[in-house]
Amino acid sequence: MSNGLITTIGQRCKRCYSCIRECPAIAIRVLNGQAVVMEERCISCGHCVKVCSQNAKAIQSDFYFVLDELLPEGGTIAMVAPSFPASFPNDYSKLPSALRAAGFSMVTEAAFGADLVSNLYSECFEKNDQATVISSPCPAVYNFIEKYHENLVPNLAQVVSPMIAMGRYLKDTYGKNRKVVFIGPCLAKKSEHSDPEVADAVDAVLTFKEIKLMLQYKKVNYDELAESDFDAPHAYLGKSYPLVGGLLKTANINEDILHKDIIVVEGKTKVTEIIQEIADGNLKSKFVDILFCEGCINGPAIDSQMNYYSRREKVVGYINDTINLFDKREWQSNIFNARDIKLSRTFTAKPQRRPMPTEEEIAEILIRTNKTSKSDELNCGSCGYPTCREYAIAIAKDLAEEDMCLPYLIDKLEAANLEIKETQEQLHSAEKLASIGQLAAGVAHEINNPLGSIMLYASMLKRKLEKAGCENQNSEDLALIMEEANRCKNIVANLLNFARQGKLRISSIEIAEIVKGIITTFSVNPDHASVSFSVNELTEDSNIYGDGDQIKQVFINLLANALEAVESCEKKEISVNIKRDDEFLITEISDSGCGIPADNVGKIFTPFFTTKKMGKGTGLGLAITYGIVKMHKGDIRVKSTEGKGTTFTIKFPVKLNTNVLVN
């Protein structure tokens, strides 16, 4: 996990991807199912914290540093952001008293810092006749520009934020060693106060939520407190800074809606859009005032259940209540006395953009996530990215994982469930085959001896009758006995073959040659003269390791079944396709026969199951075939359509673990 300003609490993260969806910097990636904030890409806007319904985002805190180190020293000054009425709506007039009760020696308004920098913004507007000037009080905005639009760094107004201006004023006025703590609704201020360019101004940053916890910890009782004012210096129009357009109001810059030289923008989506427009050279305005939130009253740490309009009303009410009590002469004097304080700063490009993947890479990733055509790109946004293409780009940039795509995960889950079902069925079949195999071996052994005796004595009786010249009905009956006994012997031989589990004689064999040899043997039979055979070798190498005799038996059984399937059909075609991939040699045997009824497809590998006429089959051929394929660690599947034909697909591994299977 990241050690930056914002981190993820792993056990709370539920794969909802809301934070990814809201992050304007694409600074969150999923690792092992957890949304991890990448510190180097993060702009500290805090949107991920606002949208996380599981409270799975932890924020780096100065709580204990202030509580255990700064307050006990004495003399620590609290600097409160002007949006505080929105977070303390019912008792904001008692907040200065509460902070003094908690141990702060002075409680001041950060809004005076806004008054200090207002003249600099007026100068930026008046003097600018070149590139568009972008306001810089919002750290999330300039962080975004420094990291993702470094070409716009020169456009940033080189003015410190009100927090830094006020911090420097307090240290200049009361001593460099005095500790200053900023209290506000903004997470980005936590990253700003540690910026080397301005690290001299503020010693710690607490959010409104953190200060409420501290007041509880200190057992500060609001009911026992009196209303009180902030310590000097008091702010003037800087109090309006947390409202949209507050900077322009403070700097006395006219914001007429018909004034094309000035644009005011707030909110993540609009901010990213206008920054891109400026970068593309599509805007010619002189000045753009930008706030990543919809005013600071909507900051990620405002900690208030009120809606935007109620918050705004509270802040406006506070301004109206205090503006008439304001001593403008004293304020002007304080502004004049601060004339030597450094209120300018520079910004530095810190590029974090990753190279754009090629179209081929994007297409390959889309295919891997089952998006082979435009219609497969649902653009549902469940991954946190607006389109499947942007999601694929994020994967290529190592900012996302394939398992973040919900439709892809569902497809994988369905495939996994199907595979589990098939595996369970195969296991069930294998267990049945193993049990039947053991039984078959015992039965075959016991039947073989009496069968031999029957055939021997029947043959002897037949010979005696023939020598005696008594070739009558008895002789024919004996011939039938011998024929049926011989059929039983063949069944016993098949049973023994079926029971030969694990006994393989491994050698290198050519599947194509075996198949061609079997087809040649079948072709010379006049009964099969009307059957059309074709062998398509789609690979130059059909070599595998296995037991040649047993694999030959597999293809004899399957081709014999195919011949029987086309026997009564007008179209008599049997085709064999041989191909391979990295792991398997794949053989497909297709016939144009009558097909297998759907109800029987699941039974065809079961021993003694047959649809042939009495005396035509034992129902062991496909069971033996299945056993041989499985002994070779292969796979056999069947697809059949009644009236159209059947295809058997047999997979044999190219490499077989001969150490395990040779006997």
The closest alpha carbon to 572, from 596, 593, 545, 541, belongs to 593
User: pLDDT, tens digit, for every residue of 190-216?
Assistant: 999 989 999 999 999 999 999 999 999
**Predicted confidence band of residue 115 (pLDDT cuts 50, 70, 90):** very high
- Find which of 120-129, 229-238, 386-395 is predicted with most confidence, using mean pLDDT: 229-238
Q: Which helix (H) or strand (E) holds 430?
A: helix 406-467
Q: Which residues contact 134 (CB under 8 A, 6 or more apart)?
A: 141, 145, 152, 155, 156, 157, 275, 278, 288, 290
> Which pLDDT does position 67 carry in this prediction?
95
- Find which of 406-415, 459-468, 586-595 is predicted with most confidence, using mean pLDDT: 586-595
User: pLDDT, tens digit, for every residue of 447-467?
Assistant: 777 877 888 888 888 777 777
Instruction: Look up residue 156 and give its DSSP letter.
Output: B
- Find which of 66-70, 126-130, 371-375, 446-450 is predicted with most confidence, using mean pLDDT: 66-70
Looking at 477-605, which runs of residues are DSSP E strands? 506-510, 532-537, 543-547, 573-580, 584-591
SS3 470: coil
CA dihedral 586, 588, 589, 594 (to 10 degrees): 150
Would you tell me how many other CB atoms lie within 10 Å of the CB of residue 468?
8
The pair phi, psi for residue 222, each rounded to 5°, is -60, -35
Q: Which residue has the tokens 């902030």?
A: 230
> Which pLDDT does position 368 carry in this prediction?
84
Asked if the model's pLDDT at residue 105 lies above 50, the reply is: yes
> Which pLDDT does position 662 carry in this prediction?
42
The closest alpha carbon to 494, from 623, 327, 306, 308, belongs to 623
When pLDDT is averaged across residues 496-519 and rounded to a whole number, the result is 78
Distance of alpha carbon 189 from the chain centroid? 31
User: pLDDT, tens digit, for every residue of 649-663?
Assistant: 999 998 876 544 443
> Which pLDDT does position 14 carry in this prediction?
81
- If DSSP states are collapsed to H, E and C, what string results for 375-387? HHCCCCCCCCCCC
> Which pLDDT does position 62 carry in this prediction?
94
Domain residue extents for the chain: 61-337, 414-500, 502-663
State how far the Cα of 511 lies from the Cα of 515, in Å rounded to an integer.
6
Asked if the model's pLDDT at residue 444 lies above 80, the reply is: no
502-663, what's its fold?
Heat Shock Protein 90 (3.30.565)
> Which pLDDT does position 445 carry in this prediction?
65
> Which pLDDT does position 1 carry in this prediction?
41
> Candidates 1.10.287, 2.30.30, 1.10.530, 1.10.260; correct CATH number of 414-500?
1.10.287
Q: Which residues contact 507 (CB under 8 A, 6 or more apart)?
A: 545, 546, 547, 548
> What are the angstrom distances between the C-alpha of 403 and each of 100, 361, 406, 411?
52, 18, 8, 11
Q: 264-273, 324-333, 442-451: lowest mean pLDDT where?
A: 442-451
CA angle, 399 then 402 then 404, to 5°? 85
State how far the Cα of 289 lies from the Cα of 271, in Å rounded to an integer.
10
For residues 219 and 439, the model is more confident at 219
SS3 109: strand
> Which pLDDT does position 613 carry in this prediction?
57
Bridge partners (DSSP) of residue 535 are 576
Q: 133-137, 260-264, 574-578: lowest mean pLDDT where?
A: 260-264
Contacts by residues 152-159 (CB-CB < 8 Å, ≥ 24 positions apart) = 152/275, 152/278, 152/279, 153/347, 153/348, 153/349, 155/131, 155/278, 156/347, 157/120, 157/121, 157/124, 157/133, 158/344, 158/345, 158/346, 158/347, 159/117, 159/120, 159/121, 159/124, 159/343, 159/344, 159/345
> Which pLDDT does position 663 carry in this prediction?
38
Q: Which residues contact 203 (CB under 8 A, 6 or more apart)?
A: 70, 179, 180, 181, 193
Looking at 493-621, which runs of residues are DSSP E strands? 506-510, 532-537, 543-547, 573-580, 584-591
Asked if the model's pLDDT at residue 329 lies above 70, the reply is: yes
Contact 116, 341 (CB under 8 A): yes
What tokens were used for 33?
């199912």
State how far the Cα of 440 lies from the Cα of 434, in Å rounded to an integer.
10
